Structure 1
Amino acid sequence: MDDRTLAPLPDFSPWPGRFAQRVVLVTGASGGLGSAAVERLRREGAVVVATDVVAPVGEPGDDGLSQGLDVTDPGQWSQVLEGILGRFGRLDGALFCHGLQGPETPVDQMPRDGWNRTLEINLTGCLHGLQAVLPVMREAGYGRIAMLASIAGREGNPNMAAYSVSKAGLIALGKTAAKENARHGISINCVAPSMFQTPLLAALSPERNAELLSRVPMGRVGDPTEFAALAAWLLSSEASYMTGQTLDLSGGRNSA
């Protein structure tokens, strides 16, 4: 598609003070979408606890924390939560932004270890996270949780079975947890992006990238700041009547 036909990307100005005195945990904080969300949340006044397998590099003067977290290890989740409560005494929001592409192969050629590893990180890692943060939020009577799903979880991308299944399971997990906690002041939602400019996209073959882009009516790849803007709203107090939903962030791509 001719780039001259594409609408320009708007300026995403932060809302100063929207997250004042709020503490938000972010996983996958070193990734393209996670790091953009961390930056946005910090600019809006949040104390961000940024985590990844290797602790992200903190910003100078940042009041939050940067910690290593293997999302597949429930013990590490417990340690992170203990550290948050010990230092800040509260946890207001959580953004689960970690993820693994997984094998790019037909179903009948799917390696078992690749299948298991993808589901362990993308799906079970979020289960461990919910089990860690929900009791804290229920006790406080408030919480906002957003989880990174994918349009692949809605429709199932060919040659991406492990990834698609992990994200479909995450959508179901989010809906279930949202219904269980709706009366406790906690909202839980998923975001289902299509193509975004991240390292995960670079892991796909050129043929796969071209095929996926052909299905996006806007004709372009999403920018991480666009994800950050939506994630910030879902993590804010304004998302008070939105729970159990999966919001497509796909440039107009519809499930088929």
Structure 2
Amino acid sequence: MTQFENQTAIVTGGAQGIGRAVADRLAKGGARVALWDRDRALAEKAAAEIGGDAFACEVDVSDWASVEAAMKATLDATGRADILVNSAGVAGSNGPLAEYPVEEFRQITEINLLGTFHVNRAVVPAMTAQGYGRIVNIASVAGKEGNPNASAYSASKAGVIGLTKSLGKELADRDIAVNCVTPAAARTRIFDQMKQEHIDYMLSKIPRGRFLELDEAAAMIVWLCTRENSFTTASVFDLSGGRATY
């Protein structure tokens, strides 16, 4: 595989979970991968394991100055930004909206939604200047349907869907595709933030009767990053095992 040769791919949350699975595939396809992650040590370990000139940037996506610094470091190192997979996110705790901690709701929104805005905002000028780009934002089936006792997460991921559709239409007259995926739950460290009853609820809603595998998610996401994906933009790709059919 050499379809990503001479391309730079930025993967936020790339040290683990879906982001790491995507980074592995992009690197195998020839991309130089920049792992943007809040956990610097884990990102550096992942970059060393991925190889192929992969490198780590410590980034807090909720902080615009941190994202700007990471973008500068990436451009200084590679001179390009061809692919963005925005996988950084948090689930937060579970509880009814009437009792949900106000500060936690704000934090989840700042990471999942404002963070997506920050990263897209930083990358788009470079893609526009070079006349090419592929962006995939990771939303969630919760953003389509809303999960009970997960109002902050559901609302933030619905916002990611809306942002993706808006930006995709803004850039539709250029060779820059902006899409998002809406996964059902995958068994990653994000489960550590959830109550078991909420995990059981999510599983009960998936007609396939199991959670999403990381490689399954990465396969679809990486295709959206290819030159083959030259027409579809501002769209939502379902990865929910039959839960959402629209």
Partner of 2:126: 136
Identify the residue that residue 27 of structure 2 maps to in structure 1.
42
| 1:175 counterpart letter in structure 2 | K
Q: How does 1:120-199 map to 2 (within 5 A)?
A: 120-199=110-189
Q: What corresponds to 1:13 in structure 2?
A: none
Partner in structure 1 of residue 7 of structure 2: 22
- Work out whether 1:220 is the aligned partner of 2:210: yes
Matched residue, 1:118: 108
Matching of residues 226-237 of structure 1 within 5 Å: 226-237=216-227
Question: Any conservation in 2 of the 1:119–1:166 contact (CA below 8 Å)?
Answer: yes
Give, in angstroms, the shift of residue 142 of structure 1: 0.5
Where does residue 79 of structure 2 map in the other structure? 89
Whether contact under 8 Å (2:178, 2:234) holds in the other structure is: yes
Q: Give the Cα–Cα distance (whole angstroms) in 2 for the partners of residues 224 and 199 of structure 1.
A: 12
Aligned-pair CA distance for 1:232: 0.6
Q: In angstroms, what is the RMSD of aligned CA positions?
A: 1.3
- Aligned residue type for 1:142: Y
Determine helix, strand or coil for the equivalent of 1:183. coil
Give TM-score, length-normalised by structure 2: 0.94
Cα distance in 2 for partners of 1:254, 1:87 equals: 41
| Aligned counterpart in structure 2 of residue 59 of structure 1, from 45, 48, 65 | 48
Deviates more, 1:60-69 or 1:206-215: 60-69
Whole-Å separation in 2 of the counterparts to 1:209 and 1:234:
28
Deviation, 1:254, is 2.0
Give the unaligned 5+ runs of structure 1. 1-15
Against the structure 1 CA distance between its residues 91 and 36, is the aligned structure 2 distance closer, same or farther, given a 3 Å change threshold?
A: same
Shift of 1:255: 6.2
Which consecutive unaligned segments of at least 5 residues does structure 2 have?
none
Q: Where in structure 1 do 4 or more consecutive aligned residues deviate above 3 Å?
A: none
* Residue in 2 that maps onto 1:12: none
Specify the code of the residue in structure 2 equivalent to 1:167.
K
Identify the residue that residue 16 of structure 2 maps to in structure 1: 31
1:62 deviates by 3.1
TM-score (normalised: structure 1): 0.91
The percentage of counterpart residues that share the same residue type is 37
Question: AA paired with 2:57?
Answer: Q
Richer in helix (by share): 2
Provide the rounded CA distance (Å) in 2 between the counterparts of 1:211 and 1:84. Answer: 40
* Larger Rg, first or second structure (1 or 2): 1
Q: Does 1:80 align with 2:70?
A: yes
8 A contact 1:54–1:67 mirrored in 2: no
CA deviations on 1:174-204 (whole Å, 9 max, x unpaired) are: 0001111111211111110012121112432
Using the TM superposition, give the Cα deviation of residue 77 of structure 1 relative to its aligned residue in structure 2, in angstroms.
1.4
